[in-house]
Structure 1
Amino acid sequence: MIERGCGSMDIESAVKFPTEDENWVVKVLIGGIISLIPIVNLLATGFCLKVMKETINRTPKMPEWGDWGELFVKGLIGAIISFIYLLIPVIVIAAMTGGAVFSMGMRSGMPFTMMIGAMVIGGLLAVLFGFFVPMALAMYVSGDSISDAFRIKEVVSRIKSVLGEYITAYIVIILLSVLLLLISVIPIIGWLIATFGSFYVGVVAAHMFGEVYTSSVA
């Protein structure tokens, strides 16, 4: 959690946040199973946004699974907001991949190099543009207004006001995501552990950035 006034973050407590709920194992299992199903997995996104909302309201907790319609709508809106912010990396990856496929059709020796370049450049752009997504989502759930997520000046201003904590939270989530990626390559059970772990990390991220948002100023 954020320790206001000292500009530091208790990373260990933040990562353990989901375990404070007595039914956290069941809730994570449900979230992991839901995450496996395309479209339906928007419910998991909605759940994480509800965690963020509770944190912003200073009542941090993992909510009960329910209100499925509300979770789905919030998850869908959250996914749309994230997609719009990440549109440039998506376009770059699509363009470079398309170029590689075209080169392959022309029997050029460049497609493999272009594919690697697309992944590297696209990944870097995703990290860069993705940096603004958590604050945009926090602004959305705080005011329950989609337009709030695209008040770019306020997004930037709020991030600047808590830059140290925000960067710390962002790096922690990236590192946890990389760890899950490494776990996913373990034969047979790796992908399953990573799936449930990804939902857990999503809850952690929602809580961390919800805390950061409450400390920020426009």
Structure 2
Amino acid sequence: MISEAIRYLNESDDAVTTVLLGGVMTLFAFLLVPLFAVAGYLVRVLDRTARGDDEPPVFDEWGELIVDGLKASAIAFVYALVPTVVLLAFLVSGGLLGASGSDVLGAIGGIGVFVGLLVWLALTLLVAYAVPAAMANFAETRHIGAGFEPATMRRVLVDRTYATGWLTAFAIIVVGGVVSSLLNVVPILGFIASAFVGFYTAVAAYYVIGHTWGEIQHAPMKEQPAVRGQVEI
């Protein structure tokens, strides 16, 4: 799966154009609109690969692309809010206890902050695990509420197939991050090149997630065994 994911964009007739556009927009993601365009492209990758279509999408129909990316980004933002709000609650509580002037309450506040950091880390990992599934479910319907369907999310997140696919995608992202870090040793040019590497590895990772989602959601129904004693007509 990893080798197919790495070759995914290369098999497109528009590979050079897609990588150039994706890299440039990743570089200017701080302007938000390019970020939404890249997110919209990843949604298309999820949609196609989940349906078994390995032809990479292209950057076109920009209005629809950006709207889809905006919705996908909103889904990811809502998920990311959860660990952030929890951490802030622990930090504020710990700060108030520490400012009370009591050694005991100050110690409790310090312990609370430490526990809050652990909870934040656990929730952040959970969010990182859940967001690709939420994006894949959204890609199927283009309805923002699909990213928060409890029954679907619960079923997929505990599926071993999804866990394996997520770990594979995560490994691709990690390798891409290492390559980007090495490129950043070269001033300016390395930073620019890392944007293209980041886009390429993100597409490869979402290729894996898309195929994983399709395997879970669209696998053909297994034939049910014949009921004993049933007479075929």
TM-score tier, shorter chain, comes to: 0.7 to 0.9
Match of 2:223 in 1: none
Match of 1:187 in 2: 186
CA distance in 2, matches of 1:199, 1:135: 19
Structure 1 26/120 Cα, relative in aligned 2: closer, same or farther at 3 Å? farther
- Does residue 1:156 correspond to 2:154, yes or no? yes
CA distance in 1, matches of 2:117, 2:181: 17
Per the TM alignment, residue 100 of structure 1 is displaced from its structure 2 partner at its CA by 11
List per-residue Cα deviations over 1:160-187 (Å, max 9, x = no partner): 1524532433432442353145235313
Q: Which sits farther off after the overlay, 183-192 or 80-89?
A: 183-192
1:71 is matched with which residue: 44, 57, 65?
Answer: 65
Secondary structure of 1:47's aligned partner: helix
CA distance in 1, matches of 2:117, 2:82: 14
CA distance in 1, matches of 2:23, 2:17: 10
| Contact 2:162–2:212, Cα closer than 8 Å, also in 1 | no
Match of 2:174 in 1: 175
Structure 1 176/123 Cα, relative in aligned 2: closer, same or farther at 3 Å? farther
Structure 1 101/186 Cα, relative in aligned 2: closer, same or farther at 3 Å? farther
- Does residue 1:12 correspond to 2:3, yes or no? yes
> 2:32 is matched by which residue type in structure 1?
I
- Does residue 1:57 correspond to 2:51, yes or no? yes
Match of 1:46 in 2: 40
Give the structure-1-normalised TM-score. Answer: 0.77
Unaligned runs of 5+ in 1: 1-9, 103-116
Match of 2:165 in 1: 166
Root-mean-square deviation over aligned CA pairs: 3.3
Match of 1:5 in 2: none
Match of 1:82 in 2: 76
Structure 1 34/119 Cα, relative in aligned 2: closer, same or farther at 3 Å? farther
Consecutive aligned runs of 4 or more in structure 1 exceeding 3 Å deviation? 92-102, 117-125
Q: Percent identity?
A: 23
Tell me the matched-pair count.
202
Secondary structure of 1:66's aligned partner: coil
Match of 2:213 in 1: 213
Per the TM alignment, residue 190 of structure 1 is displaced from its structure 2 partner at its CA by 2.1
> 1:13 is matched by which residue type in structure 2?
E
1:91 is matched with which residue: 82, 85, 89?
Answer: 85
Match of 1:145 in 2: 143
> 2:198 is matched by which residue type in structure 1?
S
> 1:197 is matched by which residue type in structure 2?
V
- Structure with higher Rg: it is 2
| Contact 1:161–1:217, Cα closer than 8 Å, also in 2 | no
> 2:43 is matched by which residue type in structure 1?
L
Give the structure-2-normalised TM-score. Answer: 0.72
Match of 1:126 in 2: 124
